[in-house]
Amino acid sequence: MSYIPHTDAERQQMLAAIGVPTIEDLFDAVPSAYRFPSLSLPEPVGELEVMAELQALAEANDHAGDFALFRGAGAYHHFIPSAVNHILLRGEFYTAYTPYQPEMSQGTLQAIFEFQSMIGALTGMEAANASHYDGATSLAEAVTVALDVGRRKRKKIILSPGIHPDYRAVARTYHQGQGIQFVGDQSPASVDDLAALLDEDTAMLAVAYPNFFGQIERFAGLAEKVHQVGALLVFVANPLALALFKSPGELGADIVVGEGQPLGIPLSFGGPYLGYFACREQYVRRIAGRIVGETVDQDGKRAYVMTLRPREQDIKRDKASSNICTNQGLMALAATVYLALMGKHGLRKAAELCYHKAHYAADQIYLLRGFSVDRSKPFFNEFVVRCPRPVAEINALLLERGIIGGYDLGKDYPHLSNHMLLCVTEMNTRYEIDSLVECLRDVK
Amino acid sequence: MTEPVIYQLGSPGREGVRLPKPDVPITPLPDELLRGELDLPEVSELQAVRHFVNLSQMNHAIDKGFYPLGSCTMKYNPKVNEDAARLPGFAHLHPLTDEDGVQGALALMYQLQEWLAEIAGFAASTLVPAAGAQGELSGILMIRAYHLSKGDTKRTKILVPNSAHGTNPATCTMAGYQVVELPSDANGNVDLAALRAACGDDVAGMMITVPSTLGLFDSQIIEIIHAVHACGGLMYMDGANMNSLLGIVKPGQLGFDVMHYNLHKTFSTPHGGGGPGCGAVACTQTLKPFLPGPIVEIVEEAPSVSANGAGAVNPLNDAPLYGLRMPPQSIGRLKAFWGNFGMHVRAYAYIRAYGTSLREVSRHAVLNANYVRVKLRDQYRLPYDRICAHEFVLEGRFEGVEGVHALDISKRLMDYGMHPPTNYFPLIVREALLIEPTETEDKATLDAFIEAMRKIADEARSDPALLRDAPHTMPIKRVDEVRAAKQLILCCRPVPDWAHQAAGD
């Protein structure tokens, strides 16, 4: 086997040193009736055949390299500078483990510290951790913090229906069996409707920014209302939108979570992505996940180390608030390199391109007979279109012309059947947008 | 050697990328909603590349040297698997593409589900969990859902041996269970008498690592499983140590009900400096309806007659139609979308390459561990001196040498260009050093490690300060962890005091 380097001679030398005649003798402790079962697997093959097979599987998919993609709904096709992937492929980064030994992992540790700094800057928060699995689990972990801040006496979690449906589902999965009440998201609700649910039993209220429909809702006065009852205000934010719009910190958020995938991470059929988690400093000792802090070494030289470790499962065991141990280290690195390259000016420009192209598309579709565009609220790079026919039928027509159309909102929101969520990014050219509009014009 | 923070490298106005000018009319931005300045770096592409390359060189990694980190399975990560995950048809595939357009991806996931079930002797598996810890949470929530589905609400406890990974008890607490910790006996096995005493109708199940975190096969595993099943509990296997079980024994055949894999350990998807991973879960037919989802299922069988000639390498020829479905009594979603697909691709490539020879992985992982063990036993104390699985634990202390600890040995090992073993775990061994060489290391590398460890044992006696002050050759010396926790510097950028600002309004 190419990945197992042993020669026959070496095997014999090693077995002799151990003092057993065969490798099989090393497994005597395994009950003999169950030892060495047959494995129904294919015959071994080499790199050449593996790659040929995977290429065939990959090419069987309708991907954004071959199609004009207008679908978002939580996963976005954005420009990624080449340098990001080249850095990710540094073996020193991707074949390292969690930086438990700081002297041997300053590279990973400093990169995470820079990630935390950039996430803090984007969200307007004082602290951030090294990441969670994805945006959905970040929200679930925010619930844990809010319950903890509410001393486990407050049992009510208010979720906006504008939060990604999967995220709300994951928060419920994580907190099943704990007597927690999730409210607010079972039917359409405005920010005021959500605020009306606040009471002394509320641990947190979470809103999306922009919401699942791409809209920027108005949050004036919300933070005061939430804080008045002693609850936490949580924002689920698209980090690319934060290059353009006011930071959640400025809007009074206590915790900001979200999906970091728009920051230099490919679509990859839904993962691996990057859950970011930022908060006000007063809550940092209650949050889960790895955190890197700056300190000095014995010679007084600046150094980084995983800190506040006593919160974590390997030390606190059954008293830990979460069982998380790995973060999404390499994805956090991708976002860090991406944000460094895009920088202060590039990120804003990318966000503006998304905004302008989405609004151009929306303006064109607005003019089409049979379609209407929801322009009741400002939006970023996604918008809702009411269609004259079921979304699946329209998408089938678009696909024939090389276009992957919008997301069918009727799947998650029964009152929005025949409504399509269209996404436009800097990757969509005017030609693609015009083609989309032309195709929709042909829908009868 | 220190590298400036990226923010220190920039100059106002510098840009690292050039984006296209808008090719559509400009829409006025809504001024009242816009933020002020964005506090991000302003560096050139070269500055960024050099910065991150410089940082990378301050890391140790498998590609650079030996990494015998116990319980983490730091084996070689084949390069082709990285290329595979980056194929455009995978990398640029939107997760919400219509099912007809993702049959290649679903075929891959379905096959991987089948292989993972087969390797562990189970009926089904899910690829959704993002990490081992999420796999554990899945399994324990499935056990909970199973009992509740039978109207059994009296089970409030999960049994966990005291040698367990910290995630095990933390998982039980997350799932709303009370943890009952079981002692280990003198051989490092679960204390069977204590287990039997703890079993009752309030026990929902037991979590156990096989082989144990001490790197030992528990020869009483069948008795343990029987005892828990007899009281109505279910058995969860922490599969962190599957690298010693491939083709050696199938947990499902032993009687386990549910387990998780760590694809980033056993099946070589890279650790990435701490993720992303995949904690796929496999289970019995009885528990299948409770799996977290969606999972890939066949929604339409393949046409029975082959329409195609032989020879083509296309797994989609005569393939059925696959779909993503929620199991009927699923514990729910654990993640947005379908799991860490990029990890599924890599694990598929790895299992496909090994195929029926997967057993060689475990055979050689166990051979390597035992070889290192016997070569160190005269210099280090082995608390359990018997044939081990893929890893073993020794004590990092020496008779008659005061003030030298496992940590000092670990730090000194860095000066020999090797990553330290896992230290201070398992907790039940004093000054534990948990050593896992993995099967991809050759004898010469193992001999170099053995030589380094023996030298360090000599140094501990002749010049203990050499160990206590180690490492001497790394970019930094030992760090002040107390200061890090007390002074808490987590970001290098000032953040406006919103709270104060709001109060001042």
pLDDT in tens, A297-352: 999 999 999 998 877 777 778 888 788 877 899 999 999 999 999 999 999 999 99
Among the partner residues B16, B100, B343, nearest to A346 by beta-carbon distance: B16
Q: Rounded to an integer, what distance in angstroms lies between the CA atom of residue A211 and that of residue A409? A: 13
Per-residue pLDDT band for A98 (boundaries 50, 70, 90) equals very high
Domain boundary among A307, A337, A367: A337
Q: Does B34 touch chain A (CB under 8 A)?
A: yes
Protein fold of B83-302+317-356:
Aspartate Aminotransferase; domain 2 (3.40.640)
Report the pLDDT value the prediction gives residue B497, as an integer from 0 to 100: 72
Within a domain: A434: yes
**How many of the other CB atoms lie within 10 Å of CB of B292?**
28
Do A94 and B270 contact (CB within 8 A), yes or no?
yes
Q: Region A192-209: what's the mean pLDDT?
A: 98
Which of A236-252 are b and which e, b meaning 16 or more Cβ less than 10 Å from the residue's Cβ?
bbbbbbbbbbbbbbbbb
Name beta bridge partners: A292: A306
Do A183 and A156 contact (CB within 8 A), yes or no?
yes
Q: Does A202 touch chain B (CB under 8 A)?
A: no
List the single residue in B with minimal CA-CA distance to A293.
B490
Q: Rounded to an integer, what distance in angstroms lies between the CA atom of residue A215 and that of residue A208? A: 9
- The beta-strand segments (E) located in B67-156 are 124-126
CB interface of B with A, residues 147-186, below 8 Å: 165-167, 169-176, 179
Among the partner residues A35, A74, A134, nearest to B130 by beta-carbon distance: A134
Within a domain: A369: yes
Residues A132 and A259 in one domain: yes
Q: Does A131 touch chain B (CB under 8 A)?
A: yes
Domain B360-485 has CATH 3.90.1150.10: yes
Residue type, B355: G
Q: Rounded to an integer, what distance in angstroms lies between the CA atom of residue B140 and that of residue B475? A: 43
Candidates B186, B240, B170; CA nearest to B212 is B240
Cα A370 to the center of its chain, rounded Å: 35
Residue whose structure tokens are 């009950």: A31
Q: Is the ipTM of this complex over 0.85?
A: yes
Q: Across chain B, what does the average pLDDT equal?
A: 94
Q: Rounded to an integer, what distance in angstroms lies between the CA atom of residue A227 and that of residue A393? A: 46
Enumerate the CATH 3.40.640.10 domain ranges in chain B, comma separated.
83-302+317-356
Residues A261 and A402 in one domain: no
Q: Does B417 touch chain A (CB under 8 A)?
A: no
Q: Is B56 exposed, middle or buried (0-12, 13-18, 19+ CB in 10 A)?
A: buried
Q: Rounded to an integer, what distance in angstroms lies between the CA atom of residue B267 and that of residue B279? A: 11
Q: Rounded to an integer, what distance in angstroms lies between the CA atom of residue A123 and that of residue B107? A: 39
> Interior CA angle at A435 toward A434 and A440, to 5°?
100
Using a pLDDT cut of 90, give the percent of chain A over it: 93
CB contact under 8 A, A96 and B60: yes
Q: Which domain holds residue A376?
A: 68-80+343-441
CATH of residue A245's domain is: 3.40.640.10
Report the pLDDT value the prediction gives residue B122, as an integer from 0 to 100: 98
Within a domain: A26: no
Report the pLDDT value the prediction gives residue B505, as an integer from 0 to 100: 37
Cβ-based contacts of A252 with chain B (< 8 Å): 498, 502
Q: Rounded to an integer, what distance in angstroms lies between the CA atom of residue B230 and that of residue B439? A: 38
Among the partner residues A23, A130, A347, nearest to B40 by beta-carbon distance: A347
Cβ-based contacts of A118 with chain B (< 8 Å): 40-41
Structure tokens at B497: 């005091």
Residues A240 and A378 in one domain: no
Q: Region B265-281: what's the mean pLDDT?
A: 96
Cβ-based contacts of A96 with chain B (< 8 Å): 59-62, 271-273
Cβ-based contacts of A27 with chain B (< 8 Å): 217, 248, 366
Pairing mode, strands B422-423 and A292-296: unpaired
Q: Which of A51, A54, A141, A282 to mutate to test the interface with B (most CBs of B within 10 A)?
A: A54
Within a domain: A29: no
CB interface of A with B, residues 133-192, below 8 Å: 133-137, 164, 166-167, 169-170, 172-174, 176-178
Backbone φ and ψ of A183, nearest 5° = -135, 170
Which of A63-82 are b and which e, b meaning 16 or more Cβ less than 10 Å from the residue's Cβ?
bbeebbbbbbbbbbbbbbbe
Report the pLDDT value the prediction gives residue B493, as an integer from 0 to 100: 86
Domain boundary among A292, A317, A337: A337
Residue B369: left if φ>0, alpha if ψ -120 to 50, beta else—which one? alpha
Cα A141 to the center of its chain, rounded Å: 13
Residues A354 and A238 in one domain: no
Q: Does A443 touch chain B (CB under 8 A)?
A: no
Domain boundary among A337, A363, A387: A337
Residues A408 and A372 in one domain: yes
CB contact under 8 A, A246 and B119: no
Flag the least confident range among B135-139, B154-158, B399-403: B399-403
pLDDT in tens, A383-441: 999 999 999 999 999 999 999 999 999 999 999 999 999 999 999 999 999 999 999 99
Do A155 and A143 contact (CB within 8 A), yes or no?
no
Residues A254 and A113 in one domain: yes
Within a domain: A32: no
CATH of residue A358's domain is: 3.90.1150.10
Do B148 and B142 contact (CB within 8 A), yes or no?
no
Within a domain: A63: no
Total of domains in chain A: 2
Q: Tell me the DSSP string of A367-401.
A: TSTT-EE--SS-BSSEEEEE-SS-HHHHHHHHHHT
- In the predicted structure, residue B321 carries a pLDDT above the cut 60: yes
Report the pLDDT value the prediction gives residue B315, as an integer from 0 to 100: 65
Residues A74 and A176 in one domain: no
Per-residue pLDDT band for B504 (boundaries 50, 70, 90) equals very low
Within a domain: A54: no
First to last CA, chain B: 47
CB contact under 8 A, B35 and A404: no
Candidates B479, B37, B340; CA nearest to A265 is B340
Within a domain: A199: yes
CB interface of A with B, residues 379-438, below 8 Å: 392, 395, 399, 404, 407, 426, 429-430, 433
Cβ-based contacts of A173 with chain B (< 8 Å): 141, 292, 331-334
**How many of the other CB atoms lie within 10 Å of CB of B226?**
12
Structure tokens at A41: 């697997």
- In the predicted structure, residue B499 carries a pLDDT above the cut 80: no
Q: Is A386 exposed, middle or buried (0-12, 13-18, 19+ CB in 10 A)?
A: middle
Nearest C-alpha of chain B: how many angstroms from A370? 24
Structure tokens at B231: 């009281």
Residue whose structure tokens are 């959640």: A248
Interface A-B: count of C-beta contacts within 8 A: 705
Do A303 and B481 contact (CB within 8 A), yes or no?
no
Residues A270 and A394 in one domain: no
Residues A196 and A134 in one domain: yes
Residues A238 and A92 in one domain: yes
Q: Tell me the DSSP string of B133-182.
A: HHHHHHHHHHHHHHHHHTT-----EEEEETTS-THHHHHHHHTTPEEEEE
Residue of B247 and B1 predicted with greater confidence: B247
Q: What's the DSSP call for residue B230? A: H
Residues A252 and A399 in one domain: no
Residues A135 and A255 in one domain: yes
Residue whose structure tokens are 């790197």: B215
Per-residue pLDDT band for B314 (boundaries 50, 70, 90) equals low
Q: Region B253-259: what's the mean pLDDT?
A: 98
Q: At what angle do helices A430-441 and A329-366 cross, to 10 degrees?
A: 50
Q: Rounded to an integer, what distance in angstroms lies between the CA atom of residue B16 and that of residue B42? A: 7
CB contact under 8 A, A341 and B17: yes
Helix (H) / strand (E) element for A68: namely: strand A68-69
Q: Is A288 exposed, middle or buried (0-12, 13-18, 19+ CB in 10 A)?
A: buried
Candidates B165, B228, B155; CA nearest to A312 is B165
Q: Rounded to an integer, what distance in angstroms lies between the CA atom of residue A28 and that of residue A18? A: 14
